[in-house]
Structure 1
Amino acid sequence: MTIRTSRLPASATVDPGSSGTVQPRLRNTGDVVDEYRFTVVGDIAPYRTAQRTGTPGALTARRNPAHPAGDSGPILSARGVRVGGMDADRLDWNRTLREQWEVHWQHQLRARLEDLTDDEYFWSPVPDAWSVRPRGSSTAPVQAGTGDFTIDFAFPQPVPAAFTTIAWRLGHVIVGVLAARNAAHFGAPAASYETWEYAGGAAAALDQLETQLDVWRAGVRGLGDAGLRVPVGAKEPFPEAPMADLVLHIHRELIHHLSEVCLLRDLHLHMNPTTNGATR
């Protein structure tokens, strides 16, 4: 713990019978702490009185006119006491990063996704939206997937970007955000847009989402603090970045895209729905 103290103003003259105010100032140049408390050390000179003012940390000093003599030194000393100190090197960063996502998931997003219907899953408020479709029914330039359903893509991506349905957005989160990273970093089976078996309904998609989230959370927990400092490696676009950066990125992606899903559910509730990219 390292602190530097000063007084504002640096010096003050107090005439007999009058008063003046000084404010101690503290600068923390050491560890991160929650707060400092100050304790008066020593006795105030008999010819002076001191009391707190309305300004935090400030004192008003008054010289007693009956004792006009006295030196011009400080009326008191103070020392800082570290309370509830927080050492950044001892903070549980792994728990902090996990809770960034877990609190949002448990208290906001999860309930918003409950009882998602197939009509909502496939619904689009605009024509030609990208979606998940029965194999052979898509007109998208790229139709990826190995099962009965494929996901729409194009390379290069169109400008402006295509509108995407809840089905597409969940497919992106399940595969591109989670499953591919779980495979690359946490020993899960290999996964890609081309090899994934996409869900043909809302319930199956939410089951896939929960499964991949469980793998991700367990993987991040297993990193501990030391693992968060390890470079992500060649499987990521920025190999030298630490795993902590990837965890933050994935959590931003989850919050971002699943919030879009919630917005589409709200739109579906208030609009005359059609399904799977058909014109309203």
Structure 2
Amino acid sequence: MTTPPRLVPLLEQFDFAYERLLGRMAGPVVDSGNGTDVAVTPLTDEEYFWEPVPGCWSVRRRSDGPGARATHLTGAGDWGRDAAPAPHPEPPPFTTIAWRLTHLSEMLTLRADHTVGSHTLTRDDYSVSGDAAGAIAAFDAGAKAWREALLGADDTALDTVGHSTYPHGSDPEDPFIDTVWWVNQELLHHGAEIALLRDLFRARRG
């Protein structure tokens, strides 16, 4: 199927952001933004769980319970991500790389399912990763699943309200092209946050 022309720049933006974030976490190099490769060491578990300020929201063993101001741990399995029902705490809790990365991966995986899959997965079905390597692999898989969903979208799908039935956002009320844009900005801004946290972690060690 021919990709609709208006989807092409959004796909290119997604690909660049996805590949850059994956490289920033997994190494051995990452695109500096101008085509120059910069050496990067793989994300460690210590960085993944690093809490730079008190009261962070993170990923935790279910047996340990939620963190400060969280009411529960969302997800399936032995690990969960700090969460609370709306209205969310004010000011918003600072979130770790673990929180931000599993949030991204869950969003990509579930939105792919609610676009071209079973249309049934919820946050309670998503297995939260308890280590950095597993989280990077989950992000890679989620990004690839979402990209496959995009490649199946024609112009009619892009204009269809509720083409994505993802239940944790406004997707059922939005044209699909708006959802595509939203996912890109989520990837861009959380990717930038993760990169900055890696820089801060490295700088504190001198």
Which structure dedicates a bigger proportion of its chain to strand? 1
Which structure dedicates a bigger proportion of its chain to helix? 2
Q: What secondary structure does 2:125 align onto? A: coil
Q: Is the 8 A contact 2:105 2:138 kept in 1?
A: yes
Q: Is the 8 A contact 2:50 2:97 kept in 1?
A: yes
Aligned-partner residue type, residue 112 of structure 2: N
Cα distance, 1:157–1:210 mapped onto 2, change above 3 Å: same
Q: Which shows bigger deviation, 240-249 or 184-193? A: 184-193
Aligned length: 182
Q: Deviations over 1:20-68 (max 9, x none)?
A: xxxxxxxxxxxxxxxxxxxxxxxxxxxxxxxxxxxxxxxxxxxxxxxxx
State the distance in 2 between where 1:266 and 1:190 align.
Answer: 38
What is the aligned partner in structure 2 of residue 20 from structure 1? none
What is the aligned partner in structure 2 of residue 103 from structure 1? 16
Whether 1:264 aligns to 2:197 is yes
Q: What secondary structure does 2:123 align onto? A: coil
State the distance in 2 between where 1:182 and 1:223 align.
Answer: 12
Deviation at 1:219, TM superposition (A): 0.7
Deviation at 1:96, TM superposition (A): 2.0
State the distance in 2 between where 1:208 and 1:234 align.
Answer: 21
What is the aligned partner in structure 2 of residue 202 from structure 1? 132
What is the aligned partner in structure 2 of residue 168 from structure 1? 99
State the distance in 2 between where 1:223 and 1:238 align.
Answer: 15
After the TM superposition, which residues 226-237 of structure 1 pair with which residues of structure 2 at under 5 Å, given as runs?
Answer: 226-232=156-162, 235=165, 237=170
Whether 1:246 aligns to 2:158 is no
Q: Is the 8 A contact 2:22 2:136 kept in 1?
A: no
Q: What secondary structure does 2:57 align onto? A: coil
TM-score (norm 1): 0.60
Whether 1:181 aligns to 2:94 is no
Whether 1:125 aligns to 2:52 is yes
1:158 aligns with one of 86, 89, 95: 89
Structure ranking higher on relative contact order (CA contacts 8 Å, 6+ apart) = 2
Choose 1 or 2 for highest CA Rg.
Answer: 1
Pairwise CA RMSD: 2.3
Cα distance, 1:234–1:183 mapped onto 2, change above 3 Å: closer
Runs of at least 5 residues in structure 2 that lack an aligned partner in the other structure: 27-41
State the distance in 1 between where 2:4 and 2:117 align.
Answer: 27
Q: What secondary structure does 1:93 align onto? A: coil
What is the aligned partner in structure 2 of residue 144 from structure 1? 74
Q: What secondary structure does 2:128 align onto? A: coil
TM-score (norm 2): 0.80
Q: Is the 8 A contact 1:233 1:240 kept in 2?
A: no
Q: Is the 8 A contact 2:18 2:143 kept in 1?
A: no
What is the aligned partner in structure 2 of residue 71 from structure 1? none
Deviation at 1:180, TM superposition (A): 2.0
State the distance in 1 between where 2:151 and 2:163 align.
Answer: 19
Deviation at 1:189, TM superposition (A): 7.0
Instruction: Among all aligned residue pairs of Structure 1 and Structure 2, give the percentage whose two residues are the same amino acid.
Output: 35
What is the aligned partner in structure 2 of residue 61 from structure 1? none
Aligned-partner residue type, residue 265 of structure 1: R
State the distance in 2 between where 1:91 and 1:184 align.
Answer: 21
